[in-house]
Amino acid sequence: MTSPDPGNRTSRVVRRMTARGRDEEHRASTPLELLFDLCFVVAVAQAGARLVHTLAEGHPGSGVLGYLFVFWGIWWAWMNFTWFASAYDVDDVPYRVATLVQITGVLIYAAGIPRAFTDNDWTVAVIGYLVMRLALTGQWLRAAASEEAGSAARRTALLYATGVTLCQVAWVGLLFAPEDFRRWLFLVVGVAEMLVPIVAERRQQTSWHPHHIEERYGLFTLIVLGETMSAATVAVQSALDEHEALGRLLPIAGGGVLIVFAAWWIYFSVPAHERLWTDREAIPWGYGHFVIFGSAAAIGAGLEVAVEHAVGEAHVSARAAGAAVVVPTAVFLIAVWLLHARRFKGGLVQQLVLPVASVAVVCCVFAGDWAVPAAGLVAAATVVVGVTLAARIPETGPPHGGGGASLSGVAGATEGVSSD
């Protein structure tokens, strides 16, 4: 199949939805994809706000569980669009309209997060998913119609359309299930959702673009980290407006800044695209980002809890407030190491940096009121140690089928700078 020429504007109104080429040069995120990501941050902010409330009220169990459920919905909807767009973005009017419909769906989903989180009422959230899925199913059917009859690519597109439709029917059915069973059934349907790409692409891999996928994930990581910083800043500002607590808030703010800066540095230290060439490699990597995205957003929620504790508004201990920050920070570090950083380390010492750092970060919880600044210093030290080791010990990289292409997009800004 020939790839649509992004520079050709003569037939933009309607184009044939042929698969994009995996070797397409200069493939970058589009303004529509960036708008899609920014609208998803609305849902991320809603999930974070509910997590802050439950943690500050001293209900970590229900808070973390509710957060995982609603954040899974955010992440999976983003995944569905991102991988389809990487393979079939033709940027014509029907494609744009379908994407805008999906954006509308995620905004509806975001509006339903408080009820789903607090009351286990998923009605509005499922309606949002239904809107998104109508558009996505239409996209897959359009892709199938554009492929040759009887081809493996057409079969794959039809399997996606069928799988997405059946799972959406299950989500709607979930609304009629007894409330006590909804979260258990959520797990069942969630697993079914995650099996759809594995089944659909078993015989024919869609033509997603490794550089484009890496950039899309990198950009969403940046946006989530930015939301984390924004939420923490607003929390500090509100606390300063209502309390005279500058001396207590500055260490938390400083520690939070160091954690976010280190998270950015560590995530972008290695070129993930170098091993994203088959579904066997890419699907675990893509699915594993649920942990990275979720923990990055949870850091911001934790910082808000730490701020509320500092001004006496959180009904938790100093250790619990510190744990709200250090636990997601440690999870982020170990997840980045597991997904791709460990594949580029040249020896045992380099391999141990992030695992040891994650343990050290968790230990900071015993610092009580100083847990956040202590974790920030550990995160900063991790970057320093990583950069120092990278200068002394050559790093390795996995073989790949891309011919050694350099990092593209936002990840290219950190090429050659290893930190973890």
Q: What pLDDT score does 116 carry?
A: 92
Q: What pLDDT score does 409 carry?
A: 35
Distance between CA 239 and CA 247 in Å, rounded?
12
Distance between CA 290 and CA 194 in Å, rounded?
12
Distance between CA 163 and CA 196 in Å, rounded?
6
- The CA distances from residue 194 to 198, 206, 283, in Å, are 7, 16, 10
* Torsion angle (degrees, nearest 10) of CA 339, 186, 109, 294: -20
Distance between CA 358 and CA 338 in Å, rounded?
12
Q: What pLDDT score does 398 carry?
A: 53
Question: 120 with 179: CB under 8 angstroms?
Answer: yes
Distance between CA 51 and CA 295 in Å, rounded?
12
Identify the sign of the CA torsion 272, 275, 277, 279. negative
Residue type at position 285: W
Closest CA to 75 of 330, 341, 387, 287: 287
Query: Residue 317's Cα: distance from chain center in Å?
Result: 30
DSSP string across 343-371: GG--SHHHHHHHHHHHHHHHHGGGGGGGH
Q: What pLDDT score does 400 carry?
A: 44
Helical ranges in 147-245 per DSSP H: 152-174, 182-200, 210-242
DSSP string across 297-339: HHHHHHHHHHHHHHTT-SSS-HHHHHHHHHHHHHHHHHHHHHH
Closest CA to 298 of 267, 265, 337, 263: 263
Instruction: Write out the chain's pLDDT in tens, 420 residues.
Output: 344 444 444 447 888 888 888 888 888 899 999 999 999 999 999 999 999 999 999 999 999 999 999 999 999 999 999 999 999 999 999 999 999 999 999 999 999 999 999 888 999 999 999 999 999 999 999 999 998 888 899 999 999 999 999 999 999 999 999 888 888 899 999 999 999 999 999 888 998 998 999 999 999 999 999 988 888 888 888 777 776 777 888 899 899 999 999 999 999 987 776 677 788 888 899 999 999 999 999 999 999 999 999 888 888 999 999 999 999 999 999 999 998 777 777 778 888 999 999 999 999 999 999 999 999 999 999 999 988 888 876 555 554 443 333 333 333 333 333 444
- The CA distances from residue 300 to 216, 230, 346, in Å, are 21, 8, 33
Structure tokens at 1: 């199949």
Question: 301 with 55: CB under 8 angstroms?
Answer: yes
Residue type at position 399: P
pTM assigned to the model = 0.87
- The CA distances from residue 275 to 214, 269, 272, 302, in Å, are 10, 15, 6, 33
Q: What pLDDT score does 396 carry?
A: 56
Q: What pLDDT score does 125 carry?
A: 95
Question: 268 with 219: CB under 8 angstroms?
Answer: no
- Three-state secondary-structure class, residue 116: helix
**Which run of H or of E encompasses 375?**
helix 371-392
Exposed/middle/buried for 13, CB within 10 Å: 0-12, 13-18, 19+? exposed
Question: 332 with 362: CB under 8 angstroms?
Answer: no
> Quick one: residue 75, left, alpha or beta (phi over 0 = left, psi -120 to 50 = alpha)?
alpha
Distance between CA 224 and CA 218 in Å, rounded?
10
Q: What pLDDT score does 354 carry?
A: 93
Closest CA to 43 of 6, 12, 78: 78
Distance between CA 312 and CA 305 in Å, rounded?
10
Question: 255 with 377: CB under 8 angstroms?
Answer: yes
Distance between CA 163 and CA 186 in Å, rounded?
16
Question: 273 with 343: CB under 8 angstroms?
Answer: no
